[in-house]
Structure 1
C-alpha cells in the first residue's frame, strides 16, 4: 500500500520522500512559464537531481527564464528547452520531431502535461478547433503519442495528465464539441469539456499501454495561489457565471461563495505524487488529488470522466481530428 498523504502534504515533503526515485530520471514538463504550477514542479523536483529536465513552451524567452531559475537552485542538473505550441498541430509535430532527433536522450521517464488555458473567450486554434479543447487536449494528445516510443523506452514510464475538478462543468459534447462555431459557447462548459478530456486521456493510456509498463494518471492540483491560470478571467463577472454552471448541474460548488486556495507548495504535491509515488500499479488510469487516489464517493469526480467507454470514444474522435491513428 502507498503511504497516505492529504491536502496539507507539500511538494518539498514528497520530493524528499521520493528523492531516490527522482534521481537520474528524465522528465518532460509542458506549461512552465514562471509562476505556473508546471514551473514550480520542475523547480521542486530539480532538487532531487534528476538526470534531465525538459521544459516546453511557446516562448523561447519564457523558457530561458524558467531554465535559469531552476539552474540557480539545482547545480548539476541538465536542463533542455523545447519550443512547443499546443495550439498548432504542425508545431506539435515539429516539437515531437525535435525530441526524436535527440540521440542523447534515449528515453523519457515521466511526462507531465501541465500546460493549459482556463475560461478564455471563444477562439480557434491554428487548425480550427475550439481553443480550450484544441490546446488543453488535442495538442497534448498528439504530442504525447508522437513521442510514445521514447516514453516506453523507460524502465518505469509515466504520463501525468493535469486536469481539474473543473471537469464537473461539462462532459464531452460529442455532437457539438466545437460549440457550433461559437454560437453555443460558454467558457466554463468549454473548460469542463477539456478537463474531462484530460481525465479520459489518462484512462485510455492506462488501458492501451499498461500492459507495456506505462502508468498514466490525471491529477487535480487544487485552486493554487499565484498562478497565471486565471489570467483570462474577470472574477467580478466570471465567478457568478461559474457558480451558475455549477448550479445548473446541481454541483455543491454552485453554493460556494469563494474558492479554497492552496499554496503552490501544496498545489505541486499531487504532481509529485502522481509522477513518482511507488505502488500505484493497481490504480493505473485513476484521478489523483490531495496526493491520493480520488474517491468518487466523497470527491467531485463525475462518471462521464471515469468511463472507459467515453475514453475510447474520445480516443477515436481525437485520432480523427489530428489525422493520425495510434493503434496500440
Structure 2
C-alpha cells in the first residue's frame, strides 16, 4: 500500500486495498442516505463482503433505498435498518436499545458517526440544546456510549467521527454552548463548536478506552463535497458565503481570503472514511484527526489547538454527561 494517500485518493481504491480487513466485519454507519457520504460509504465497502451493514438515519424510506441497492449488487451482505433522530436523546436511547437487543449481531467492529447538519438557523432540540450541538455531538456521544458494549467485543474495535475543517470556526463554548438563547448566535460558530466536539470526542475515546480495551478512535475531515445536500439550504452565491468568509476573517483564518472551494467527488470524499475505518498503519496515532487519508499535520493542514487538547476533551466529556443525564466512567 502507498505510504501516504492524498486528496485525489478514492474510496474505491482503498476498499480494494483493505478488502481482507473489511471482509466479515460488522459496520454501523449513521447518516445513510442515497447520494451522500454515508450512503456512498456503505455501498462502497459492501463490495469487500462485510458480514453486516447497519444503516442508521432519520428517514426509513431512504434507508431502505440504500439497503436495496446494496442487496442488488452484493446479495450476500446482510443489511439492517436503524431509524434514529440524533437531535432527540429519546430517539437515540430507543435506537441504542434496539441495537443492543439484536442477539444475532453481538459485535460491532466499526462505528462511523457520519450524521450531521450544518449552519442552520437557531433553534433548540426537544432536550433544550442548540440544534447543531445536539445533532452533531450530543446524539452521537450518547449513542456511541450506549452501544459501546458491542463495539468493545470486537477484536479490533474502531469508532470514527466525521468532523470538518470547520472546527476552525469555534472551540467548545463551555459557558455559552446555547448562545444565550439565540442572542449571541452565529450559525458558523455553532457549526464550528459541534465539529470541534467531534474531534474532542474521538480523542476522549482513545484516551479512555485505547490502552485498556484496544479501542481505536479517529476524527476526519472528508473535504468539500458539494453534491451531498448538506448545504443545499445555504446561499453560497451571496449571503452565506460572505458570512463564512467574514467569520474566518474575524478569526484570522487563512480560509477567509481564499476564493471558492476545491470540491471532491463522492468517491474522493469518502476515502478518508474508509481510511479511518480500516487502515492498519494509524494505530500508533490513536485519537488523531485525519484529512485526505492521512494523519493531519498541524503545520500543513488546518488543525486548531482547541480541538486536539486532552484537557478540553475531558471538559467536554463531563459537560456531555451532564447534558445527557448519564455518566460513562470508563
- TM category, shorter: over 0.9
8 Å Cα contact 1:10-1:265 kept in structure 2: yes
Q: Secondary structure at the match of 1:54?
A: strand
Larger CA deviation: 34-43 vs 139-148: 34-43
| Runs of 5+ consecutive residues of structure 1 not aligned to the other structure | none
Structure-1 residue corresponding to 2:155: 155
8 Å Cα contact 1:204-1:311 kept in structure 2: yes
- The answer to whether structure 1 residue 111 and structure 2 residue 107 are counterparts is no
Structure-1 residue corresponding to 2:293: 291
- The answer to whether structure 1 residue 182 and structure 2 residue 167 are counterparts is no
- The answer to whether structure 1 residue 218 and structure 2 residue 219 are counterparts is yes
Structure-1 residue corresponding to 2:247: 245
8 Å Cα contact 1:118-1:232 kept in structure 2: no
- The answer to whether structure 1 residue 55 and structure 2 residue 52 are counterparts is no
Which aligned runs of 4 or more in structure 1 are off by greater than 6 angstroms?
Answer: none
Q: What is the alpha-carbon root mean square deviation over aligned residues?
A: 1.0
Cα distance in 2 for residues equivalent to 1:256 and 1:68: 41
8 Å Cα contact 1:119-1:232 kept in structure 2: no
Structure-2 residue corresponding to 1:310: 312
Which whole-Å deviations, capped at 9, do the CAs of 1:230-281 have from their partners, x for residues lacking one? Answer: 0221112100000001001111100012111001110000000000001222
Structure-2 residue corresponding to 1:232: 233
Aligned length: 328
Cα distance in 2 for residues equivalent to 1:232 and 1:311: 31
Structure-1 residue corresponding to 2:69: 69
Tell me the TM-score normalised to structure 1 length.
Answer: 0.99
Which whole-Å deviations, capped at 9, do the CAs of 1:60-86 have from their partners, x for residues lacking one? Answer: 111111111222222211000001110
Cα distance in 1 for residues equivalent to 2:193 and 2:103: 37
Tell me the TM-score normalised to structure 2 length.
Answer: 0.98
Displacement of 1:126 after TM fit? 1.3
After superposition, residues 87-166 of structure 1 pair within 5 angstroms as 87-166=87-166
Larger CA deviation: 201-210 vs 217-226: 217-226
Displacement of 1:2 after TM fit? 7.7
